Amino acid sequence: MSPSSPSPATTVYAARKIITMNPSRPHATHVAVREGRILGVGTLADLAGWGAHTLDERFARQVLMPGLVEGHSHLMAGTLWRYTYCGYFDLADPDGRNWPGAATLDAVVDSLTRSEADSAGQPAAVVGWGFDPIYFGSQRCTRADLDRVSTVRAVGVLHASGHILNVNTAALQLAGLNRTGIAHPGIPLGADGLPTGELKGPDAMGPLFEPLGLTRSFLSGDETGIRAFGKLAVRAGVTTATDLAATLGDGEVDTLLRLTAEASYPVRLVPLLRLIAITPKDAVARAVQLRERNTEQLRLGRIKVVADGSIQGFSARLRWPGYYNGAPNGLWYTAPETIRECYALALQHGVPVHTHTNGDEATDLALDCLEAALRQHPSPDHRFTLQHCQLADAAQFRRMRALGMGVNLFANHHFYWGDQHRATTVGPERAERMNACRTARDTGVPYSIHSDAPITPLGPLFTAWCAVTRLTASGRVLGEGECIPVADALQAITLGAARTLHLDGEIGSIECGKRADFCVLDDDPESVPPAQLKDLRVWGTVQGGRVFQAPATVPQS
């Protein structure tokens, strides 16, 4: 910069309190920002040496902490709001409007029927999402239930887990599946020899995605949905979030590059290329190619592998003794030999891999595959991460530590499905060790926690509350020995999540040189009782030095 050039503008934000997540200076009252980065943190006097500045006191009554990092979410959390919400719990949409849950199967059918009537005469399918029949006891949704919505138009409802889809007869006919003679583990048959309408896993669901408009390319690349996701992020205090299973075709990447480059887009996105309908060799090559298109706001070059399915959908792979209610073991979504090949090639080319393992048998597979791959291609900082990893026991955490693996635990499961896991899926003992944050910490495994939005709502502070209290929806503490302190939970949703994405040198704490990403709170997470952590009010965010205020939640009109 020449002597005559003006100095870059510096803004110093004053706050009631700044929680830095930096052990060298854990708290402060002021933070200086220049060119979207943190110039310094401390008192106003500490920052005076940086020269002329503008003092901004808009946050003088608020608490700043690092921008929250959602290490496992999906852009379809925004896109799915195009369709009918059919979840069990109330949920706020991207604009802050609250939508009531559907507490019975009849209520789900009624919601879809209203949507069908509102869209009468349109060629598009009738689609619902967030469906969770595990709350309805032994009652399952069949094609006959959805035929009550329409016998002419395709009707489909995606389960909350994202691993199961229920459709009507018209949809089965469109996909050529309304016939006898089908033998597929993901397509249950009724007494008449025809599919019941419940489809489990990507192989079974795949033929219905196109007729229903639920292709992964659309869900991850829809401009309206991406913008809606940004609104959800601001409301949750999130400044960096993943799309943890994208197809990342050229069109999707172009859209992401364009939108994230806008000054009004409030969140840094980290999409992972999903290993599906592509060979490991081609996936690794594509990930390496995508790295060349990285920007400050869009980070590419990682792969997502899905090893098994959903525990509450009984499609996860469990070790002996299997499911508590005697259900048959789940499905391998990706063949074990494919995972082995992917790991070896990814290590060879420096491509991080995140692997979905819900069941403990799937976790064993991932650990075995990584151990073999590391013998071929040693890597001191590979950042391979297990996602969900819900049933891992202490021995498996010790193996993770030995292999240099990280884990991102699905803490929200305690609240949303903990009672069902205890009573139905895995039984009391295994349910109490699920998402074992304390074991991960005590074993020395780098860990974070997540929402898997839209599977559960985007909201890291709620996720932190789940890890701290381990309360179920009925109020049961599910595994008190795995509860973690508030400080550890806050670390997990900031630096912990940043580390899994290899971004902890840029984000996750408020300190000199890092990105000016802040979560702005009306309440102090270090002062409220742990039980109130989920109720902290988020004012909005600062992302790359840009300020975004969240809309208030409003009742449904």
For residue 37 the two structure tokens come to: 């980065």
- In angstroms, the CA 452 to CA 232 distance is 13
Q: Which helix (H) or strand (E) holds 428?
A: helix 427-433
pLDDT > 70? residue 422 = yes
Q: Which of 254, 206, 336, 296 is nearest to 507 (CA)?
A: 296
pLDDT in tens, 107-150: 999 999 999 999 987 878 999 999 999 888 778 899 999 999 99
Name residue 385's beta-bridge partners: 354, 406
Specify the fold of 274-508: TIM Barrel (3.20.20)
pTM: 0.94
Residue 124 pLDDT: 87
Residue 202 pLDDT: 86
Residue 220 pLDDT: 84
pLDDT in tens, 27-79: 999 999 999 999 999 999 999 999 999 999 999 999 999 999 999 999 999 99
pLDDT in tens, 448-472: 999 999 999 999 999 999 999 999 9
Mean pLDDT check: name the lowest of 179-188, 285-294, 351-360, 424-433. 179-188
Rounded to the nearest 5 degrees, what angle is found at the Cα of 366, between the Cα atoms of 365 and 368?
65
Residue 3 pLDDT: 45
CB neighbours of residue 514 within 10 Å: 22
CB neighbours of residue 443 within 10 Å: 19
Q: Which of 19, 545, 24, 451 is nearest to 232 (CA)?
A: 451
Per DSSP (E only), the strands in 9-150 are 10-19, 27-34, 37-42, 54-56, 63-66, 68-70, 84-85, 91-92, 98-99, 126-131
pLDDT in tens, 236-248: 999 999 999 999 9
- In angstroms, the CA 88 to CA 416 distance is 10
3-state DSSP call for residue 283?
Answer: helix
Mean pLDDT of 501-513: 98
The answer to whether the beta carbons of residues 525 and 242 sit under 8 Å apart is no
- In angstroms, the CA 172 to CA 151 distance is 11
Residue 461 pLDDT: 98
Pairing of strands 268-274, 238-246: parallel
For residue 108 the two structure tokens come to: 């789900």
Mean pLDDT of 324-328: 96
pLDDT band at 5; cut points 50, 70, 90: low
Residue 362 pLDDT: 98
Would you call 495 exposed, middle or buried from its count of C-beta atoms within 10 A (0-12, 13-18, 19+)? buried
How much of the chain, in percent, has pLDDT values that exceed 70?
A: 98
- In angstroms, the CA 280 to CA 369 distance is 14
pLDDT in tens, 469-500: 999 999 999 999 999 999 999 999 999 999 99
Q: Which of 225, 210, 215, 206 is nearest to 73 (CA)?
A: 225
Taken in order 87, 90, 92, 96, is the CA torsion positive or negative? Answer: positive
Domain-wise residue ranges, the chain: 274-508
